[in-house]
Amino acid sequence: MSKLQLQTITKGAPFHNTLDVAFAMEKYLFRIDMAVDNDAYTEAFRDKVVSMYAGIDLRIGLDNWAPDFVEVCTDENSSITVTLIELEARSVTARISSRKYLPEDPQLILKAFLEYLGRVIKNCRSTADPRESTFRILREKIINPKQILIYAAGALRKSTKFIECHPLLYQPKATFKAPEIKKAEQNDDSLISLRDRLSADEVKWFFRTVAILDAVVRGKDKSIATFRAWRTQNKSQPLKYYLKNHKNEYPVLYSFVFSTKKEGTELAMDRILAELVMLWSSHLERSLDIEDVKDLITAYSRESRVIKGHDKMQNIFRSARAIVSNSNI
Protein backbone atom coordinates (compact mmCIF):
# COMPACT_ATOMS: atom_id res chain seq x y z
CA MET A 1 0.00 0.00 0.00
CA SER A 2 1.37 3.41 -0.92
CA LYS A 3 1.67 6.29 1.52
CA LEU A 4 -0.94 8.22 -0.49
CA GLN A 5 -3.42 5.35 -0.27
CA LEU A 6 -2.94 5.05 3.48
CA GLN A 7 -3.65 8.76 3.95
CA THR A 8 -6.79 8.46 1.88
CA ILE A 9 -8.05 5.68 4.12
CA THR A 10 -7.33 7.33 7.43
CA LYS A 11 -8.41 10.88 6.55
CA GLY A 12 -11.17 10.38 4.02
CA ALA A 13 -13.63 7.60 3.30
CA PRO A 14 -13.75 4.49 5.48
CA PHE A 15 -11.14 1.82 4.80
CA HIS A 16 -13.61 -0.60 3.22
CA ASN A 17 -14.28 1.76 0.32
CA THR A 18 -10.64 1.87 -0.79
CA LEU A 19 -8.67 -1.32 -0.28
CA ASP A 20 -10.60 -4.17 1.32
CA VAL A 21 -7.81 -6.72 0.92
CA ALA A 22 -5.32 -4.77 3.04
CA PHE A 23 -7.25 -5.14 6.27
CA ALA A 24 -8.48 -8.80 6.53
CA MET A 25 -11.91 -7.23 6.78
CA GLU A 26 -15.39 -8.65 7.21
CA LYS A 27 -18.30 -6.80 5.60
CA TYR A 28 -22.02 -7.06 6.42
CA LEU A 29 -24.83 -5.40 4.49
CA PHE A 30 -28.31 -4.60 5.81
CA ARG A 31 -30.99 -3.59 3.34
CA ILE A 32 -33.52 -1.22 4.89
CA ASP A 33 -35.44 0.20 1.92
CA MET A 34 -37.03 -2.65 -0.04
CA ALA A 35 -37.78 -0.56 -3.15
CA VAL A 36 -37.32 -2.51 -6.38
CA ASP A 37 -34.87 0.17 -7.56
CA ASN A 38 -32.42 -1.09 -4.90
CA ASP A 39 -32.37 -4.69 -6.15
CA ALA A 40 -29.36 -4.20 -8.42
CA TYR A 41 -27.23 -2.81 -5.58
CA THR A 42 -28.22 -5.77 -3.41
CA GLU A 43 -27.26 -8.32 -6.04
CA ALA A 44 -23.91 -6.61 -6.70
CA PHE A 45 -22.86 -7.24 -3.09
CA ARG A 46 -24.45 -10.64 -2.47
CA ASP A 47 -21.16 -12.54 -2.92
CA LYS A 48 -18.95 -9.83 -1.39
CA VAL A 49 -20.24 -9.80 2.17
CA VAL A 50 -20.12 -12.21 5.11
CA SER A 51 -23.87 -11.88 5.48
CA MET A 52 -26.76 -9.80 4.20
CA TYR A 53 -30.15 -9.13 5.76
CA ALA A 54 -33.33 -7.40 4.60
CA GLY A 55 -36.90 -6.86 5.72
CA ILE A 56 -36.78 -4.97 9.04
CA ASP A 57 -37.21 -1.22 9.29
CA LEU A 58 -34.61 1.12 10.81
CA ARG A 59 -35.13 4.80 11.56
CA ILE A 60 -32.25 7.22 12.08
CA GLY A 61 -32.05 10.69 13.59
CA LEU A 62 -34.55 13.27 14.74
CA ASP A 63 -36.41 13.13 11.42
CA ASN A 64 -36.68 9.32 11.45
CA TRP A 65 -34.91 8.82 8.14
CA ALA A 66 -34.65 5.29 6.78
CA PRO A 67 -31.34 4.77 4.96
CA ASP A 68 -31.39 2.51 1.93
CA PHE A 69 -28.62 0.31 3.32
CA VAL A 70 -26.33 0.07 6.33
CA GLU A 71 -22.91 -1.41 5.80
CA VAL A 72 -20.84 -2.67 8.74
CA CYS A 73 -17.16 -3.53 8.40
CA THR A 74 -14.94 -5.09 11.04
CA ASP A 75 -11.21 -5.75 10.90
CA GLU A 76 -8.86 -8.04 12.79
CA ASN A 77 -7.99 -5.23 15.22
CA SER A 78 -11.62 -4.91 16.42
CA SER A 79 -12.07 -1.60 14.59
CA ILE A 80 -15.53 -1.10 13.13
CA THR A 81 -17.14 1.23 10.61
CA VAL A 82 -20.88 1.69 10.24
CA THR A 83 -21.92 3.43 7.03
CA LEU A 84 -25.40 4.76 6.25
CA ILE A 85 -25.90 4.47 2.49
CA GLU A 86 -28.30 6.45 0.33
CA LEU A 87 -28.85 5.36 -3.27
CA GLU A 88 -30.04 7.72 -5.99
CA ALA A 89 -30.38 7.77 -9.76
CA ARG A 90 -28.25 10.93 -10.14
CA SER A 91 -24.92 11.74 -8.55
CA VAL A 92 -25.93 15.24 -7.45
CA THR A 93 -28.92 13.82 -5.57
CA ALA A 94 -26.78 11.10 -3.99
CA ARG A 95 -24.40 13.74 -2.62
CA ILE A 96 -27.26 15.71 -1.08
CA SER A 97 -28.89 12.61 0.40
CA SER A 98 -25.72 11.37 2.06
CA ARG A 99 -24.93 14.74 3.66
CA LYS A 100 -28.25 14.97 5.53
CA TYR A 101 -26.93 12.55 8.16
CA LEU A 102 -23.71 14.40 8.93
CA PRO A 103 -25.00 16.58 11.82
CA GLU A 104 -26.73 13.65 13.55
CA ASP A 105 -25.53 12.32 16.91
CA PRO A 106 -23.38 9.23 16.18
CA GLN A 107 -24.12 7.77 19.62
CA LEU A 108 -27.87 7.83 18.96
CA ILE A 109 -27.39 6.35 15.51
CA LEU A 110 -25.29 3.55 16.92
CA LYS A 111 -27.84 2.89 19.65
CA ALA A 112 -30.64 2.72 17.07
CA PHE A 113 -28.60 0.31 14.97
CA LEU A 114 -27.84 -1.94 17.94
CA GLU A 115 -31.55 -2.08 18.75
CA TYR A 116 -32.21 -2.89 15.09
CA LEU A 117 -29.66 -5.73 15.26
CA GLY A 118 -31.44 -7.03 18.33
CA ARG A 119 -34.67 -7.26 16.35
CA VAL A 120 -32.85 -8.95 13.46
CA ILE A 121 -31.46 -11.55 15.87
CA LYS A 122 -34.87 -12.11 17.43
CA ASN A 123 -36.47 -12.55 14.02
CA CYS A 124 -33.75 -15.01 13.00
CA ARG A 125 -34.38 -17.00 16.17
CA SER A 126 -38.15 -17.13 15.62
CA THR A 127 -37.72 -18.31 12.02
CA ALA A 128 -34.81 -20.72 12.67
CA ASP A 129 -32.60 -18.56 10.44
CA PRO A 130 -29.00 -19.87 10.70
CA ARG A 131 -27.67 -16.31 10.48
CA GLU A 132 -28.71 -15.68 14.09
CA SER A 133 -25.30 -16.60 15.50
CA THR A 134 -23.51 -14.49 12.87
CA PHE A 135 -25.48 -11.37 13.77
CA ARG A 136 -25.20 -12.08 17.48
CA ILE A 137 -21.40 -12.17 17.20
CA LEU A 138 -21.43 -8.98 15.15
CA ARG A 139 -23.56 -7.21 17.77
CA GLU A 140 -21.11 -8.22 20.50
CA LYS A 141 -18.24 -6.82 18.43
CA ILE A 142 -20.04 -3.50 18.08
CA ILE A 143 -20.79 -3.36 21.81
CA ASN A 144 -17.14 -4.09 22.71
CA PRO A 145 -14.99 -2.55 19.97
CA LYS A 146 -11.55 -1.03 19.94
CA GLN A 147 -12.99 1.91 18.03
CA ILE A 148 -16.04 2.74 15.93
CA LEU A 149 -16.43 5.20 13.08
CA ILE A 150 -19.83 6.25 11.74
CA TYR A 151 -20.06 7.39 8.11
CA ALA A 152 -22.71 8.60 5.69
CA ALA A 153 -22.35 7.75 2.02
CA GLY A 154 -24.10 8.36 -1.28
CA ALA A 155 -23.98 6.08 -4.32
CA LEU A 156 -25.72 5.38 -7.59
CA ARG A 157 -28.11 2.43 -7.68
CA LYS A 158 -26.16 0.68 -10.42
CA SER A 159 -22.69 1.24 -8.96
CA THR A 160 -20.72 -0.38 -6.15
CA LYS A 161 -18.59 2.71 -5.47
CA PHE A 162 -19.50 5.59 -3.18
CA ILE A 163 -19.74 9.01 -4.79
CA GLU A 164 -19.25 10.63 -1.39
CA CYS A 165 -18.49 9.19 2.03
CA HIS A 166 -17.90 11.37 5.10
CA PRO A 167 -17.60 10.75 8.85
CA LEU A 168 -20.38 12.25 10.94
CA LEU A 169 -19.40 15.67 12.25
CA TYR A 170 -19.58 15.17 16.00
CA GLN A 171 -17.25 12.26 16.62
CA PRO A 172 -14.41 13.26 18.98
CA LYS A 173 -11.26 12.53 17.01
CA ALA A 174 -13.53 10.52 14.70
CA THR A 175 -13.75 7.67 17.25
CA PHE A 176 -15.95 6.78 20.18
CA LYS A 177 -17.13 3.74 22.10
CA ALA A 178 -20.46 2.07 21.68
CA PRO A 179 -23.20 2.93 24.19
CA GLU A 180 -23.52 0.41 27.00
CA ILE A 181 -26.70 -1.23 25.77
CA LYS A 182 -26.52 -4.14 28.19
CA LYS A 183 -26.49 -1.88 31.23
CA ALA A 184 -29.24 0.30 29.82
CA GLU A 185 -31.44 -2.77 29.37
CA GLN A 186 -31.13 -3.46 33.10
CA ASN A 187 -31.95 0.08 34.15
CA ASP A 188 -35.11 0.75 36.13
CA ASP A 189 -36.17 3.59 33.82
CA SER A 190 -38.35 1.21 31.81
CA LEU A 191 -41.23 -1.14 32.54
CA ILE A 192 -38.99 -4.15 32.02
CA SER A 193 -40.63 -6.76 34.22
CA LEU A 194 -44.28 -5.84 33.52
CA ARG A 195 -45.05 -7.53 36.82
CA ASP A 196 -48.53 -8.00 38.27
CA ARG A 197 -48.02 -5.73 41.28
CA LEU A 198 -47.47 -2.06 40.39
CA SER A 199 -47.35 1.05 42.53
CA ALA A 200 -49.81 3.88 41.95
CA ASP A 201 -47.26 5.81 39.90
CA GLU A 202 -46.38 2.71 37.89
CA VAL A 203 -50.05 2.06 37.12
CA LYS A 204 -50.34 5.57 35.66
CA TRP A 205 -47.07 5.07 33.80
CA PHE A 206 -48.26 1.75 32.37
CA PHE A 207 -51.59 3.22 31.22
CA ARG A 208 -49.82 6.23 29.68
CA THR A 209 -47.48 3.92 27.77
CA VAL A 210 -50.21 1.59 26.52
CA ALA A 211 -52.64 4.38 25.58
CA ILE A 212 -50.09 6.24 23.46
CA LEU A 213 -48.81 3.11 21.74
CA ASP A 214 -52.37 2.00 21.04
CA ALA A 215 -53.11 5.30 19.31
CA VAL A 216 -50.03 4.95 17.11
CA VAL A 217 -50.52 1.27 16.28
CA ARG A 218 -54.21 1.81 15.36
CA GLY A 219 -53.59 5.07 13.48
CA LYS A 220 -55.45 7.25 15.99
CA ASP A 221 -52.47 9.56 16.58
CA LYS A 222 -53.90 12.81 15.18
CA SER A 223 -54.61 14.85 18.31
CA ILE A 224 -53.23 18.38 18.74
CA ALA A 225 -54.23 18.60 22.41
CA THR A 226 -51.98 18.54 25.44
CA PHE A 227 -51.41 15.16 27.05
CA ARG A 228 -53.49 16.14 30.08
CA ALA A 229 -56.52 16.91 27.91
CA TRP A 230 -56.01 13.92 25.63
CA ARG A 231 -55.77 11.28 28.36
CA THR A 232 -58.83 12.32 30.36
CA GLN A 233 -61.51 12.69 27.69
CA ASN A 234 -63.29 9.43 26.93
CA LYS A 235 -64.43 10.77 23.57
CA SER A 236 -60.96 11.86 22.41
CA GLN A 237 -58.81 9.20 24.07
CA PRO A 238 -58.79 6.41 21.46
CA LEU A 239 -58.30 3.42 23.76
CA LYS A 240 -60.99 4.55 26.20
CA TYR A 241 -63.42 5.32 23.38
CA TYR A 242 -62.87 1.94 21.75
CA LEU A 243 -63.19 -0.05 24.96
CA LYS A 244 -66.42 1.74 25.87
CA ASN A 245 -67.95 0.12 22.80
CA HIS A 246 -66.15 -3.25 23.05
CA LYS A 247 -66.26 -3.95 26.77
CA ASN A 248 -67.25 -7.59 26.38
CA GLU A 249 -64.45 -8.36 23.94
CA TYR A 250 -61.69 -6.95 26.15
CA PRO A 251 -62.96 -7.22 29.75
CA VAL A 252 -59.58 -7.25 31.51
CA LEU A 253 -58.19 -4.36 29.50
CA TYR A 254 -61.44 -2.45 30.07
CA SER A 255 -61.26 -3.02 33.81
CA PHE A 256 -57.67 -1.77 33.93
CA VAL A 257 -58.25 1.34 31.78
CA PHE A 258 -61.33 2.48 33.70
CA SER A 259 -60.09 1.59 37.17
CA THR A 260 -60.34 4.48 39.65
CA LYS A 261 -57.82 3.09 42.14
CA LYS A 262 -55.24 5.60 43.28
CA GLU A 263 -53.07 3.13 45.18
CA GLY A 264 -50.87 0.38 43.85
CA THR A 265 -52.81 -2.61 42.66
CA GLU A 266 -52.64 -6.17 41.44
CA LEU A 267 -52.97 -6.47 37.68
CA ALA A 268 -53.69 -9.53 35.56
CA MET A 269 -50.71 -8.51 33.45
CA ASP A 270 -50.62 -11.57 31.21
CA ARG A 271 -54.32 -11.17 30.39
CA ILE A 272 -53.95 -7.45 29.75
CA LEU A 273 -51.07 -8.12 27.35
CA ALA A 274 -53.01 -10.94 25.68
CA GLU A 275 -55.96 -8.62 25.03
CA LEU A 276 -53.61 -5.97 23.64
CA VAL A 277 -52.26 -8.60 21.27
CA MET A 278 -55.85 -9.38 20.19
CA LEU A 279 -56.73 -5.70 19.74
CA TRP A 280 -53.65 -4.75 17.76
CA SER A 281 -53.66 -7.96 15.70
CA SER A 282 -57.28 -7.29 14.77
CA HIS A 283 -56.47 -3.77 13.60
CA LEU A 284 -53.31 -4.75 11.69
CA GLU A 285 -55.00 -7.86 10.26
CA ARG A 286 -52.06 -10.09 11.15
CA SER A 287 -51.06 -12.12 14.18
CA LEU A 288 -48.76 -10.48 16.69
CA ASP A 289 -46.59 -12.15 19.30
CA ILE A 290 -47.06 -11.32 22.99
CA GLU A 291 -43.29 -10.96 23.36
CA ASP A 292 -43.24 -8.31 20.63
CA VAL A 293 -45.93 -6.36 22.48
CA LYS A 294 -43.99 -6.62 25.74
CA ASP A 295 -40.80 -5.48 24.04
CA LEU A 296 -42.57 -2.49 22.50
CA ILE A 297 -44.08 -1.43 25.83
CA THR A 298 -40.70 -1.78 27.52
CA ALA A 299 -38.93 0.22 24.82
CA TYR A 300 -41.43 3.09 24.79
CA SER A 301 -41.87 3.23 28.56
CA ARG A 302 -38.52 5.04 28.84
CA GLU A 303 -40.00 7.85 26.77
CA SER A 304 -43.45 7.84 28.35
CA ARG A 305 -42.11 8.02 31.88
CA VAL A 306 -41.05 11.67 31.49
CA ILE A 307 -44.19 12.94 29.71
CA LYS A 308 -45.78 15.95 31.41
CA GLY A 309 -49.41 17.05 31.32
CA HIS A 310 -48.64 20.15 29.25
CA ASP A 311 -46.67 18.26 26.58
CA LYS A 312 -48.19 18.45 23.10
CA MET A 313 -49.51 15.23 21.63
CA GLN A 314 -47.93 15.98 18.23
CA ASN A 315 -44.48 15.72 19.82
CA ILE A 316 -45.42 12.70 21.94
CA PHE A 317 -46.74 10.82 18.91
CA ARG A 318 -43.65 11.67 16.86
CA SER A 319 -41.43 9.98 19.42
CA ALA A 320 -43.75 6.98 19.77
CA ARG A 321 -43.97 6.48 16.00
CA ALA A 322 -40.19 6.20 15.77
CA ILE A 323 -40.15 3.45 18.40
CA VAL A 324 -43.09 1.59 16.86
CA SER A 325 -41.42 1.72 13.46
CA ASN A 326 -38.31 0.13 14.98
CA SER A 327 -40.32 -2.71 16.53
CA ASN A 328 -41.74 -5.96 15.20
CA ILE A 329 -45.29 -4.62 15.52
**Is 308 a member of any domain?**
yes
How far CA 160 is from CA of 17, 154, 157, 304, in Å, comes to 9, 11, 8, 42
User: In terms of domains, do 171 and 203 share one?
Assistant: no
Which of 152, 185, 218 marks a domain boundary?
A: 185
Q: Phi-psi bin for 25: left (phi > 0), alpha (psi -120 to 50), beta?
A: beta
Please report, in tens digits, the pLDDT of each residue of the chain (329 residues total). Answer: 333 232 223 334 454 443 343 345 899 999 999 999 999 999 999 989 999 999 898 988 877 889 999 999 998 877 899 999 999 999 999 999 999 999 998 988 998 999 899 889 888 887 888 898 899 889 988 987 888 999 999 999 988 889 999 999 887 654 555 555 444 343 444 554 566 677 778 888 899 999 999 999 999 999 989 999 998 877 779 999 999 999 999 999 999 998 765 455 678 888 999 999 999 999 999 899 888 898 899 888 888 888 888 889 998 998 889 888 878 78
Q: Where a domain ends, among 185, 219, 239?
A: 185
- DSSP result, 207-269: HHHHHHHHHHHTT-----SBHHHHHH-TTT-HHHHHHHH-TTTSHHHHHHHT----S-EE--H
pLDDT on residue 241: 93
**The pLDDT of residue 101:** 93
Same domain, 139 and 231: no
Q: Which of 123, 151, 185 finishes a domain?
A: 185
Could you tell me the residue range of the domain that residue 25 belongs to? 3-185
Of the candidates 99, 108, 81, 111, the one whose C-alpha atom is nearest the C-alpha of residue 174 is 81
Give the global pTM. 0.53
In a domain, 124, yes or no: yes
**Residue 191 resides in a domain:** no
Across 244-282, b (16+ Cβ under 10 Å) vs e yields eeeeeebebbbebbeeeeeeeeebebeebbbbbbebbee
User: What is the dihedral sign for C-alpha 137, 142, 146, 148?
Assistant: positive
* Pair 173, 210 in one domain: no
Q: What is the largest CA-CA distance in the chain?
A: 75
The C-alpha atoms of residue 299 and residue 269 are separated, in whole angstroms, by: 17
Look at residues 214, 174, 242 and name the one whose alpha carbon lies nearest to residue 316.
214
